Structure 1
Amino acid sequence: MGIMDKLKGMLGQHEDKARKMSDAAEKKINERTGDKYTSQVDQAQKRGEGHLGMSDRPEQPPT
Protein backbone atom coordinates (compact mmCIF):
# COMPACT_ATOMS: atom_id res chain seq x y z
CA MET A 1 0.00 0.00 0.00
CA GLY A 2 1.52 3.28 -1.12
CA ILE A 3 1.32 6.66 0.53
CA MET A 4 -1.30 7.89 -1.94
CA ASP A 5 -3.54 4.94 -1.02
CA LYS A 6 -3.16 5.76 2.65
CA LEU A 7 -3.98 9.41 2.02
CA LYS A 8 -7.05 8.51 -0.02
CA GLY A 9 -8.26 6.29 2.81
CA MET A 10 -7.84 9.02 5.40
CA LEU A 11 -9.38 11.63 3.13
CA GLY A 12 -12.86 10.16 3.38
CA GLN A 13 -12.97 10.98 7.07
CA HIS A 14 -11.17 14.30 6.99
CA GLU A 15 -11.83 15.89 3.60
CA ASP A 16 -12.55 19.34 5.04
CA LYS A 17 -9.25 19.31 6.95
CA ALA A 18 -7.41 18.13 3.84
CA ARG A 19 -8.83 21.02 1.83
CA LYS A 20 -7.81 23.53 4.50
CA MET A 21 -4.31 22.06 4.62
CA SER A 22 -4.03 22.17 0.83
CA ASP A 23 -5.09 25.81 0.80
CA ALA A 24 -2.71 26.67 3.64
CA ALA A 25 0.18 25.02 1.81
CA GLU A 26 -0.63 26.93 -1.37
CA LYS A 27 -0.78 30.20 0.55
CA LYS A 28 2.54 29.55 2.33
CA ILE A 29 4.32 28.64 -0.90
CA ASN A 30 2.99 31.77 -2.61
CA GLU A 31 4.14 33.90 0.34
CA ARG A 32 7.65 32.42 0.28
CA THR A 33 8.02 32.85 -3.48
CA GLY A 34 6.59 36.36 -3.49
CA ASP A 35 3.63 35.21 -5.62
CA LYS A 36 6.09 34.70 -8.49
CA TYR A 37 4.81 31.20 -9.31
CA THR A 38 1.12 31.53 -8.40
CA SER A 39 -0.23 29.83 -11.51
CA GLN A 40 2.22 26.92 -11.24
CA VAL A 41 1.44 26.45 -7.55
CA ASP A 42 -2.29 26.50 -8.31
CA GLN A 43 -1.84 23.87 -11.02
CA ALA A 44 0.18 21.67 -8.67
CA GLN A 45 -2.45 22.00 -5.97
CA LYS A 46 -5.22 21.01 -8.38
CA ARG A 47 -3.19 18.02 -9.59
CA GLY A 48 -2.50 16.86 -6.05
CA GLU A 49 -6.14 17.22 -5.07
CA GLY A 50 -7.14 15.38 -8.25
CA HIS A 51 -4.91 12.44 -7.32
CA LEU A 52 -6.65 12.32 -3.96
CA GLY A 53 -10.11 12.52 -5.49
CA MET A 54 -10.75 16.09 -4.41
CA SER A 55 -11.02 17.53 -7.92
CA ASP A 56 -14.79 18.05 -7.71
CA ARG A 57 -14.21 20.99 -5.41
CA PRO A 58 -16.47 24.00 -5.97
CA GLU A 59 -14.69 27.20 -6.84
CA GLN A 60 -14.30 29.52 -3.90
CA PRO A 61 -14.15 33.29 -4.19
CA PRO A 62 -10.65 34.73 -3.70
CA THR A 63 -9.88 36.00 -0.20
Structure 2
Amino acid sequence: MSMLDKLKGLIKGHPDQARQGVEKAGDAFDAKTQNKYQSQVDTAQQKLGDQIGNQPPTGGERPPQP
Protein backbone atom coordinates (compact mmCIF):
# COMPACT_ATOMS: atom_id res chain seq x y z
CA MET A 1 0.00 0.00 0.00
CA SER A 2 1.45 3.32 -1.06
CA MET A 3 1.52 6.44 1.06
CA LEU A 4 -1.04 8.05 -1.24
CA ASP A 5 -3.45 5.16 -0.66
CA LYS A 6 -3.04 5.55 3.09
CA LEU A 7 -3.75 9.28 2.89
CA LYS A 8 -6.84 8.70 0.77
CA GLY A 9 -8.08 6.23 3.38
CA LEU A 10 -7.57 8.74 6.18
CA ILE A 11 -9.30 11.55 4.28
CA LYS A 12 -12.31 9.45 3.33
CA GLY A 13 -15.28 10.67 5.31
CA HIS A 14 -13.48 13.74 6.69
CA PRO A 15 -13.23 16.25 3.83
CA ASP A 16 -13.71 19.33 6.01
CA GLN A 17 -10.89 18.35 8.34
CA ALA A 18 -8.66 17.57 5.36
CA ARG A 19 -9.33 20.99 3.85
CA GLN A 20 -8.50 22.64 7.18
CA GLY A 21 -5.23 20.69 7.30
CA VAL A 22 -4.33 21.81 3.78
CA GLU A 23 -5.04 25.42 4.72
CA LYS A 24 -2.98 25.22 7.92
CA ALA A 25 -0.06 23.55 6.14
CA GLY A 26 -0.08 26.19 3.41
CA ASP A 27 -0.26 29.01 5.93
CA ALA A 28 2.64 27.51 7.90
CA PHE A 29 4.70 27.22 4.71
CA ASP A 30 3.91 30.84 3.85
CA ALA A 31 5.02 31.92 7.32
CA LYS A 32 8.31 30.00 7.06
CA THR A 33 9.10 31.40 3.60
CA GLN A 34 7.85 34.91 4.43
CA ASN A 35 5.21 34.64 1.67
CA LYS A 36 7.89 34.28 -1.01
CA TYR A 37 5.89 31.51 -2.73
CA GLN A 38 2.42 32.65 -1.71
CA SER A 39 0.83 32.44 -5.17
CA GLN A 40 2.16 28.91 -5.74
CA VAL A 41 1.00 27.81 -2.28
CA ASP A 42 -2.44 29.30 -2.87
CA THR A 43 -2.71 27.46 -6.18
CA ALA A 44 -1.69 24.19 -4.54
CA GLN A 45 -4.19 24.71 -1.70
CA GLN A 46 -6.97 25.37 -4.19
CA LYS A 47 -6.15 22.29 -6.29
CA LEU A 48 -5.91 20.04 -3.24
CA GLY A 49 -9.20 21.40 -1.94
CA ASP A 50 -10.81 20.65 -5.28
CA GLN A 51 -9.47 17.10 -5.24
CA ILE A 52 -10.69 16.49 -1.71
CA GLY A 53 -14.14 17.78 -2.58
CA ASN A 54 -14.38 15.85 -5.84
CA GLN A 55 -13.66 12.36 -4.57
CA PRO A 56 -16.36 9.98 -5.77
CA PRO A 57 -18.27 8.06 -3.10
CA THR A 58 -17.05 4.51 -2.56
CA GLY A 59 -18.35 1.48 -0.75
CA GLY A 60 -21.54 2.02 1.23
CA GLU A 61 -21.67 5.75 0.68
CA ARG A 62 -24.47 6.73 -1.69
CA PRO A 63 -25.95 10.10 -2.55
CA PRO A 64 -29.39 10.68 -1.02
CA GLN A 65 -32.31 9.52 -3.11
CA PRO A 66 -34.93 12.19 -4.00
Identify the TM-score tier after normalising by the shorter chain: 0.5 to 0.7
Cα distance between partner residues in 2 of 1:55 and 1:29: 22
Q: Whose RCO is larger (CA < 8 A, sep 6+)? A: 1
Q: Which structure 2 segments of 5+ residues have no match?
A: 55-66
TM-score, with structure 1 as normaliser: 0.65
TM-score, with structure 2 as normaliser: 0.63
Paired-residue identity, %? 40
After superposing on structure 2, the runs of 4+ consecutive aligned residues of structure 1 that deviate more than 6 Å are none
Aligned residues: 54
Q: Which structure 1 segments of 5+ residues have no match?
A: 57-63
Greater Cα radius of gyration, structure 1 or 2: 2
